[in-house]
Amino acid sequence: MVSWRLGAELGKSVVYQETNGETRVEIKESVRGQDIFIIQTIPRDVNTAVMELLIMAYALKTACARNIIGVIPYFPYSKQSKMRKRGSIVCKLLASMLAKAGLTHIITMDLHQKEIQGFFSFPVDNLRASPFLLQYIQEEIPNYRNAVIVAKSPDAAKRAQSYAERLRLGLAVIHGEAQCTELDMDDGRHSPPMVKNATVHPGLELPLMMAKEKPPITVVGDVGGRIAIIVDDIIDDVESFVAAAEILKERGAYKIYVMATHGILSADAPRLIEESSIDEVVVTNTVPHEVQKLQCPKIKTVDISLILSEAIRRIHNGESMAYLFRNITVDD
């Protein structure tokens, strides 16, 4: 779709797996002194896709390509962008690997955390899918003026507020939802573990941090007799969305939509959506999900190839990217 919009032919290359599982990439034409755009969507096998991208970038670097730009609509490992106990910031590792392989620029969409751009030593254009989703709401949801934008947790409130302000709609936030969010995970601040009979400096009494206790589930905002539109950046395991839909139904919402940029929809997500109170799940095509759509007719797709094509054209021609970020604020 991107190459069709640009009126360009796909480059000639071959990517395949050896019998021993190794990835092999062969470039079948000269790329010397050219700008090369590698479009890599992330399928189910994330690690294989990452290796294909790394090996192809290195092959192009070896073949003397002038610039190697990775077009990665959904950036993998973006949820692993913070230190967790004795883990690692895998997203930073991947950024370093891409730079080492030869990438000179990245085009992506709706990074899970905007701060991820700081992991890279080269330019990153973090495009937004919200204009396409806002257009879908206005054109495809009947009587959307009677809708309310919902954040399924306080963490998603900024995104929901952005949608609500642009559509001139009300805002609701679900608070106290039973879920394991990033902020609730053990991040290692209690390590090393306490040792019995350990020597403590006399007079050193650190204040004790009180343990968190989730309040009862409440919905801040009125959803009674309204259309509820839950917005987020990623929909992967859908249990939290299904639970949010049940709560909104109990509070009087008569129709429930879920909108997200990246529809990963892992495991039993299609079945759970089909059996839930959710009326429609709207995602963009940053991640392939044709199989999930066959399993669940409630899943709808919004095409974002237009903005990716325009970004590629502008970068290749040395034009400003500011047009693609019109009215985008820091909180978007």
pLDDT at 187 over 80: no
Average pLDDT score over the chain: 89
CB 305 within 8 A of CB 297: no
Which of 87, 105, 127 is where one domain is finished? 127
Q: Is residue 142 situated within a structural domain?
A: yes
DSSP bridge pairs for 281: 258, 299
pLDDT in tens, 19-78: 998 999 999 999 999 999 999 998 878 999 999 999 999 999 999 999 999 999 999 999
pLDDT in tens, 258-315: 999 999 998 899 999 999 999 999 999 999 999 999 999 999 999 999 999 999 999 9
Note whether 224 and 90 are same-domain residues.
Answer: no
Concatenated DSSP letters of 210-274: PPP-PPPPEEES--TTSEEEEEEEEE-S-HHHHHHHHHHHHTT-SEEEEEEEEE---TTHHHHHH
pLDDT at 194 over 80: no
CB 61 within 8 A of CB 101: yes
Confidence bin at 178 (pLDDT 50/70/90)? low
| Distance from C-alpha of 219 to C-alpha of 247, rounded to nearest angstrom | 8
| Distance from C-alpha of 152 to C-alpha of 278, rounded to nearest angstrom | 13
| Distance from C-alpha of 310 to C-alpha of 206, rounded to nearest angstrom | 55
pLDDT of residue 201: 64
Note whether 117 and 160 are same-domain residues.
Answer: no
Note whether 111 and 162 are same-domain residues.
Answer: no
Could you tell me the residue range of the domain that residue 66 belongs to?
Answer: 9-127
